[in-house]
């Protein structure tokens, strides 16, 4: 009998189910609801004593709510005698506020990491977490942390669907995205990859430029997050200026806020897909296998 118990947060039940299948266990039921005043109530409805509890949560769109829920579930699991608590955070919130950009701001990602530890989270498994300035989560999270990538799955889907072939150039839209372009390209045995340069002026204002030799090449963009779509739209213009032909775009986390998908389509960027960390109409691949590998690795 497995000593793993998977509990689904309320954010992404389908992914929780797929993760439990990958880990070959049934989901441990949990009651999660709101009190009439909107506060959260959680109760683990199964025996988790001496188990390695895995809580799946995907904290997009309602990060505060899902965060509190995860803290309550982690604490309840520990109180119920769990051997360990692993938070499988398919989408990890507040990762983009990883620096005090202006005086008076908090380093939000560190605050979140401290809260998780305080509530009893021993281990953290994330998916392509936004790592721009905090390159190593171990520096801000006390427990064990593994970041898995869905880039190989995204590229494999791109190959199967004919968007990517052996000559395709994989591009990350900003210098930090070189890490995803590298994983994506190497997993598919492609040798051509690189990154552009982005300057951000506000939530939606960015400029993208670059000096890659893309003349006459098919180009495929990979990134961790598509939020407003501005990054991808500006990257597509830069690629065109460099003589490349954009054949598709894939991201781990498709947030697509403020009609981003419509804006991308309107720019002629129609081949866009993402993983199921944040389920949306472009979801084509699952992060369940990558997450399960991360969980098994961390529990070794
Ligand atoms: C940040 O730099 C990330 O890697 C993404 O490029 C960014 O979050 C995308 O945001 P948006 O779609 O709003 O440009």
Distance 175 CA to ligand 1 centre (A): 12
> Is 236 a pocket residue for ligand 1 (Cβ < 6 Å)?
no
Nearest-CA residue for ligand 1 atom 1 is 225
Domain 4-148+286-298 in CATH 3.40.50.2020: yes
Q: What is the pLDDT of residue 138?
A: 78
Cα-Cα-Cα-Cα dihedral sign, residues 125, 130, 135, 140: negative
Catalytic residue among 40, 78, 83, 198: 198
* pLDDT at residue 267 is higher than 80: yes
44, 28 in Cβ contact below 8 A? yes
In ligand 1, the atom with minimum distance to the C-alpha of 203 is 13
Which of 111, 38, 45 is closest to 73 using CA atoms? 45
Burial environment of residue 256 by CB neighbours within 10 A (0 to 12, 13 to 18, 19 or more): buried
What atom in ligand 1 is closest to the CA of residue 230?
14
Residue 274 Cβ contacting ligand 1 at under 6 Å: no
Same fold, 4-148+286-298 and 151-276: yes
Mean pLDDT of 95-110: 92
Note whether 45 and 26 are within 8 A (CB). no
The pLDDT-based confidence of 135 (bands split at 50, 70, 90) is low
Say how far apart CA 32 and CA 160 lie, in whole Å.
39
* Dihedral (CA of 286, 289, 293, 295) sign: positive
Rounded distance from Cα 52 to ligand 1 centre (Å): 34
The predicted pLDDT at position 2 comes to 84
The answer to whether the Cα torsion of 267, 167, 285, 200 is positive or negative is: negative
Binned at pLDDT 50, 70 and 90, residue 149 comes out as: very high
Share of the chain above pLDDT 90, in %: 93
Read off the pLDDT of each residue in 185-211 and give the average, rounded to a whole number.
95
What is the average per-residue pLDDT within 273-283?
98
**SS3 assignment, position 16:** helix
Q: What is the pLDDT of residue 139?
A: 84
Ligand 1, atom 5: nearest CA belongs to which residue? Answer: 225
- In the chain, where the domains are located: 4-148+286-298, 151-276
**pLDDT at residue number 130:** 86
Sheet bearing 272-275, strands edge to edge: 193-195, 169-172, 218-226, 245-254, 272-275, 283-285
Please give the average per-residue pLDDT across 264-268, as a whole number: 97
The pLDDT of residue 137 is: 77
Q: Is the pLDDT confidence value at 179 over 90?
A: yes
Whose tokens are 């995205």? That residue is 177
Is the model's pLDDT at 1 over the cut of 70?
no
How high is the mean pLDDT of the chain? 96
Per DSSP, the three-state class of 143 is: coil
* pLDDT for position 40: 97
Taking residues 256-261, report their average pLDDT.
97
Distance (Å) from CA 227 to ligand 1 centroid: 6
Where residue 132 falls among pLDDT bands split at 50, 70, 90?
A: confident
Beta strand 218-226 with 144-148: parallel, antiparallel or unpaired? unpaired
Residue 134 has pLDDT above 70, yes or no: no
DSSP 219-251: EEEEEEEESSSHHHHHHHHHHHHTT-EEEEEEE
Residue 7: in which H helix or E strand, if any?
A: strand 4-8
What is the architecture, at CATH level 2, of domain 151-276? 3-Layer(aba) Sandwich (3.40)
| Ligand 1 neighbour 251 (Cβ under 6 A) | no
- CA distance linking residue 300 with residue 298, whole number of Å: 6
């Amino acid at each position: 009998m497995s000593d793993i118990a998977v509990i689904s947060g309320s954010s992404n039940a389908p992914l929780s189910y797929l993760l439990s299948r990958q880990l070959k266990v049934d989901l441990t039921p949990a009651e999660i609801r709101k009190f009439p005043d909107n506060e959260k109530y959680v109760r683990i409805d199964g025996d988790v004593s001496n188990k390695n509890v895995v809580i799946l949560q995907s904290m997009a769109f309602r990060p505060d709510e899902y965060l509190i829920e995860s803290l309550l579930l982690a604490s309840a699991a520990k109180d119920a005698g769990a051997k360990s608590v692993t938070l499988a955070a398919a989408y990890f919130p507040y990762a983009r506020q990883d620096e005090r950009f202006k005086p008076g701001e908090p380093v939000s990602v560190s605050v979140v990491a401290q809260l998780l530890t305080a509530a009893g989270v021993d281990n953290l498994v994330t998916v392509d977490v936004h790592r721009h300035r905090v390159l190593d989560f171990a520096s801000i999270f006390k427990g064990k942390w593994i970041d898995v990538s869905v880039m190989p799955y995204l590229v494999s889907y791109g190959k199967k669907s004919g968007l990517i072939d052996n000559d395709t150039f994989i591009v990350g839209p900003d210098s930090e995205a070189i890490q995803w372009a590298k994983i994506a390209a190497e997993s598919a045995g492609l040798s051509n990859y690189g990154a552009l340069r982005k300057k951000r002026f506000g939530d939606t204002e960015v400029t993208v430029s670059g000096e890659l030799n893309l003349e006459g090449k098919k180009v495929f963009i990979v990134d961790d997050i598509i939020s407003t779509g501005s990054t991808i739209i500006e990257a597509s213009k830069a690629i065109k200026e460099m003589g490349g032909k954009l054949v598709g775009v894939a991201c781990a986390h498709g947030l697509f806020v403020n009609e981003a998908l419509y804006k991308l389509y309107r720019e002629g960027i129609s081949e866009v897909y993402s993983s199921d960390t944040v389920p949306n109409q472009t979801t084509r691949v699952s992060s369940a296998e990558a997450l399960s590998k991360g969980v098994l690795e961390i529990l070794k």
